[in-house]
Structures are given as C-alpha cells and as structure tokens.
Chains A and B, each alone.
Chain A
Amino acid sequence: MKAVLVENLEKDYGKVKALKGISFEIKEGEIFGLIGPNGAGKSTTLKILTTLLQPTAGRAEVFGHDVVKDAGEVRRIISYLPEEAGAYKNLTGLEYLRFMARLYAKDEERSEEMVELGIRIADLGERLKDKVSTYSKGMTRKLLLARALMVRPKLAILDEPASGLDIINAYTIRKTIKRFAREEGVTFLVSSHNMLEVEFLCDRVALINEGRIVESGAPGELKDRYGAENLEEVFMRVIGVEIPEPVGGEGS
C-alpha cells in the first residue's frame, strides 16, 4: 500500500497560489524528502497531509485515508513535528511526554511503553524532570522529536526537523531519525531546505519550487542525471540557475 498519495494538489491563500497542482507518492517504510527554498510550498503540503489545512483542489491520501473526508483516521496514524513548534512551558519534559502518550495510547501500559521510548529518543537524562521553560532550543527540539516518534506512527511528518539548530544538535537529530526509521520501519516525510540534510536522510526526494514539483528521484540518481556533485547543484540546474562553482549550503 502507498503510504502517501498526492494528486494535483492545489492550495490558494486568497490571491496567492501556494500549490499549483503537485503530485507525488511515498512507499511504505521510505524516508521521503520534500526539498525547496523558503516559500516553495513545502509546509503547505505538509499541513494539508496533517489535516491542518484543506486543499483548494486535488486530493491527498495517507495509507488509503483521504485527508479531508477521513481526517480523524489520518490523525490517528500520523505524527507531525512542525517547523516552529514548542512544548508546554509549565510542564516538565517527562510530564509533556506522558501527556502526549496518554492521548495516543488507550491503556496505561501502552502509554508507559511510549514514554519509555520517548525518554530514550530524547536522551535528556535528568533534565527531563525540569520544566520545558528551562530548556535550550536544541533540547526542546529533541523532546519534540521524541514526542513525535515515541508513538510509533505509521507516517512521521517532520517539517525542517533540524532547522535553526547548531551542528551538534542537528547531527544528533538526523542520526536519531535515520536509526528510528531503520529499527522501527516507520515511513517518513521530511521537508527541508537543507540539501545536505536531505541527502543524508532520504531514500527519495522531490524538488519543489514556486508551488510545483520540478523533479523527483533518489538523491544519487538525480546527481547522476544532472552531473552534479550534490543536491544543491541539482536544484539549481533544475530551476535553470547556473552557478560558476559549487558553494557550501546551509548546514554544510
């Protein structure tokens, strides 16, 4: 079964067309990357798949469930980490994980299992007993990632998972995602404008620009196709911008 099916998806915000008919598929167990510059339509696509926004036209399915008609069922099998997310500041990290686990698990035993997994993923040690308001940005992001993964969703949707983090925190988060996907077989949809991150994480990627998918395939395949050293060069060539020599991108 396809984990995600997106067909001719369009989204208008008033006069602004954020998505102009995008289509792609994600196979079960795959880490799929949606990459493109700021404002390309990545977050809008993710918000439609997470049932937060409704498409203007086209359709999207998650494991066969329509995101509009069957939104409740979609929410039951996905887990979403927004780009700019926070946790409840007056709760401790542990209380936050418990609160979230209780909403996913229907019994206490299952909920405790989720919390145990969350504690391992977050890897914050004793600091989990402190209030979230005392956490650094990196610690909060680790807690939120742990929250998203501990429920073992069928599809984890991560919007810029390591955005704004220092090199060590970003590296740890990417490693965690990769390991979790390998060990648990969870399907991932990751959006990023960091090409290095995507190359490291994803089995397949779709390049999105100005609301349209401009190219898709495995990172190695795309590099070969365009004779490029990295995905950044691929992207620039796809959108028709020539750069005299490669330069380092964000996070590189």
Chain B
Amino acid sequence: MSDFWVLARKEIMNLVRDKKLLFGLIIVPLILYPAMGKMIQVGFEQAQEETHVAIVNFDEGRYGELLIKALNVTPNVTVTVIGAESLQDALEKASREEQNVLVIIPSNFTYAIENNLRAEIEIYGIFNTIGTGMRESVSETRIRAVVDVLSEELAKIKVKRAGFDNPEAVLESVGAVSKSVIRGRIVDVPPSIVSSVLASQSLSLPLIVFLMVTITAQMSAGAVAAEKENKTLETLLTLPVKRRTIVASKIAGTAVMGLVAALAYMIGLRNYLGNFQADAGISLEDLGLGITPEGMLLFAVIVFLTIVFALALAMLLAVYAEDVQSANTVVSSVILPLAFPAFLLMFVDLSQLPAFARYGLLAIPFTHPIAAYRYAVTGEYQMMLLSIAYLALVGGATLYLTARIFSSEKVLTAKISWGKGKKGVL
C-alpha cells in the first residue's frame, strides 16, 4: 500500500469513528430533515381535513339560501346554520361548537344582488387554539372559491339578461394563449411554468453547492486542526513521507467523507423540500433542455475542481488555527463570504449583469458550478471549458501554496490570535 493510501485510509477511519461528526453529517440530514418535513406535511394534511363552517343567515331572500346550498355541496365542507342575534353572539356560538370559520350573510345580500349592487359576506377564521393557522386559512380559501364561482355564475346570468349571447366573451373580452420558444423550438408550455421549472433548479443548486463546499471545507480544516489539538502533527511531520503526500491524503480522505455528507444533505434536503414543493409535472427534458452526457461530465469536473479548491483553501487557513474550534471560525469567516455570492445566481442571470459584476462573480470559484449548470442546460460547452481552465488554475495554485506551507515550519509556528492580528509564535 502506498503512503498516500495508508494516510488517506487513516483519515477516513478517524472521521468515520467520530460519533459527533457522524451525527451532524449523516444522522441529521438523513433522519432529522425528512422527519421535520414529515411533521410539517402532517400539519398540512390535518389542515386539509373537513372544514367546519358556521353560517348565520340574516338574509331572507333566495340568494342567501343559494349560497348555503352551494357550500353544502362543496367537498370537505360541513355547514352548520346557526341562529344568532348579533355578530358577538354568533362568534361565541361558533367558537363553542369548535367551528373553523364563521360566515355572516348580511340582511341586504339578496337585495344587493338583485339591484346590481355589490353584495358582501363576512368570513371570520376562528382561532380556537394558537397553532399555525393553516386550517383556518384553508377553510377561508375554500369558502372564497365557492363565493367566486357563485359570483361568476350570477354575473353570467346578469350579462345574459342584458342581451348578450356569450356572457364569457363579455366578462373576459380578451384571452391569451401562452407558449414558450426554447432554443428556437416552440414548446406548448406557458413561460410562467418554464420559469418555475428553471427556478426550482436555480433554487436548489446553489443551496447544494453551498452545503457541499462548507461541509467539506469544515471537515478538511478540522482534519488539520485536530492534528494540532491532539498533538499528533509534530509526529506526522517527522514521518518518512513527503509533505505533499500528507496534504494530498488529507484532501482525499476528507473529500470522500465530505462528499458522503454532502450526498446525505442533498437527499435529506430533497426529502424535506419535497414535502412542500408542488410538482409542476414538467421536467427539463420535456422543455428540450436536457443535459447531454458530455455536459454532465464537464459539470462533474467543475464540481470536483470547486471542491478541491475549497478543501485546499480550508487546509491552508487551518494552518493558522490552534484547535478545531478556531479552525471552524477561521474557515467560516473566509469560505462563507466567498460562497455566499453564489446565492445571487438564484435571482440574477449572469449574462445580464454588467461586465465588472459578472467577472467579479466569476472570480469566485464557488459561483462556477451554478453558472456551469446553466451552460450545461443550454449547451454552451465553451464556457464550461473556460470554467475548468480557471478552476484548475486557482485550485492548483491553492494546492501548491498549501503544500508549500506544509513543507515549511509555518505549519507549526503560524497562528492567528483573534483581536491581536496575525503573528508567528514559538
């Protein structure tokens, strides 16, 4: 077995057996995230259950009755008509009977409709317990939907009575059929749907890249700082092994664990978000925006190079930390601000930005995977190759610097004292 594999294997073994690390990196994303999502989903489902509506009808005309009938035939709605003298009286009764919503039909309801005036009902969501309010909100939405249908039907009748043959055409005089043109091809999908499909991609990708970079960076910094904290670094550096082998094995060992953790977070996050996101039923492939194997390969290379850069930078920074805790602080204060601008790409299109902002963002290696994914979708491989060249250059330079610092005595003597500035010590 080569020195590299002996050292990398030790790194992995050491990390795998760290119970705290395993809990934070594997158990939390794979068990707690989906469990949290499930709990929220249960809340949603409970809210979707039967809506209990209390109705007080002060109207003596036929339209008040019609509204009650319409609500009665609405699925998942149970209507209880209660008699009350006043609003206060009605609210007390509805609350006592644990109704979710109280609907008040005013005395002039039928009069207003018949005389072409605007009729208004009042809907009160009753918060019997202070929860999320989802149930009350769902109940209100259901009643509004019934009222909207009733209102539309009444409008159609009135328009027809006024002598128009096609009431729909009067009420909605101009219609629009939306389609999208993607890469010169007409797709029978409205732009808003295409936008939401693309948005769902641009929302999750930066989050995943951000998690991947921060987790792997923290791990590699921790691996160096733990050597200092546990007083194993001096022994390690006097072993008959090349310093660059030590750096490479640490990067490889933590990268393996970091990728496992990133994968766990991706799966956990997907499960968590999957509980809320409505599926548009349209994939990128349906829109003619599928990624080719070549595109996927280039994308994978870009992600790999970004991680190598993050790991090398984190190790370089960790040299200045005395223990794992200060390594985490040093790495967070440098990597997080660098990784954060990647989130800008969730909202902005790189090509629409002014040149200085575009190049400024692209100077940060962490924005490249997100930009590259879009280039992979649109088939702009030239841009991806440029990304690879840039990342290889920046990653290579950082690796070289890290190996250099590990070959010097700085690895033992350099440290940052917070609040006192940077200094070398005995």
Contacts and interface: CB of A to CB of B under 8 A. Distances in A.
Interface in A36-79: 47, 50-54, 72, 75-76, 78-79
B174 to A, nearest CB: 70
B10 A88 contact: yes
A178 B409 CA distance: 32
Interface residues of A, number: 35
Given A78-B238, A82-B231, A103-B6, A53 B13 contact: no
Nearest to B239: A103
A164 B405 CA distance: 32
A89 B231 CA distance: 11
Interface in A70-98: 72, 75-76, 78-82, 84-91, 95
Contact of B240 (A82, A91, A103, A147): A103
Nearest to B10: A99
Contacts of B234: 47, 50, 52, 80, 82, 85
B237 A88 contact: no
A50 B238 contact: yes
Contact of A13 (B14, B241, B425): B425
Please classify how large the interface on chain B is, using the bins under 10, 10 to 19, 20 to 34, 35 or more: 20 to 34
B409 A52 contact: yes
Nearest to A51: B238
B231 A52 contact: no
A54 B263 CA distance: 43
B244 to A, nearest CB: 11
A57 B279 CA distance: 71
Identify which of B13, B17, B412 gathers the most chain A CB atoms within 10 Å of its CB. Answer: B17
Contacts of B6: 99, 102-103
A1 interface: no
Contacts of A84: 231
A82 B235 contact: yes
A85 B240 contact: no
Residue of A82, A84, A85, A103 ringed by the most chain B CB atoms within 10 A = A103
A228 B188 CA distance: 102
B230 A86 contact: yes
Contacts of A90: 13-14, 17-18
A16 B423 CA distance: 14
Given A52-B237, A80-B234, A82-B231, A103 B17 contact: no
Contacts of B130: none
Given A88-B14, A99-B10, A72 B240 contact: yes
Interface string B1-28: 1010011001001100110000000000
A13 B231 contact: no
Contact of A88 (B232, B239, B409, B424): B232
Contacts of A180: none
B426 interface: yes
Contacts of A47: 234, 412
Contacts of B237: 51-52
Contacts of B242: 72
Contacts of B231: 82, 84-86
Contact of B14 (A79, A91, A147): A91
B413 interface: yes
Contact of B426 (A18, A78, A91): A18
A109 B412 CA distance: 34
The interface centre, meaning the residue of B1, B14, B235, B409 with most chain A CB atoms within 10 A of its CB, is B235
Contact of B13 (A76, A85, A91): A91
Contacts of A54: 408-409
Interface string A2-34: 000000000001101010000000000000000
A104 B266 CA distance: 40
B18 A75 contact: no
Given A52-B238, A103-B241, A104-B240, A86 B426 contact: no
A103 B3 contact: yes
Interface of B: 1, 3, 6-7, 10, 13-14, 17-18, 230-232, 234-235, 237-242, 408-409, 412-413, 424-426
24 contacts: A13-B413, A16-B426, A50-B238, A72-B240, A72-B242, A75-B238, A75-B240, A78-B238, A79-B238, A80-B238, A81-B235, A82-B231, A82-B234, A82-B235, A90-B13, A90-B14, A91-B13, A99-B10, A102-B1, A102-B6, A103-B3, A103-B240, A104-B240, A144-B235
Given A80-B235, A89-B230, A95-B13, 5 more contacts: A52-B234, A52-B238, A54-B409, A90-B14, A91-B10
Q: Across chains A and B, which 8 residue pairs bring their CB atoms closest together, nearest first?
A: A90-B17, A86-B231, A76-B240, A86-B230, A80-B238, A82-B234, A102-B6, A50-B238
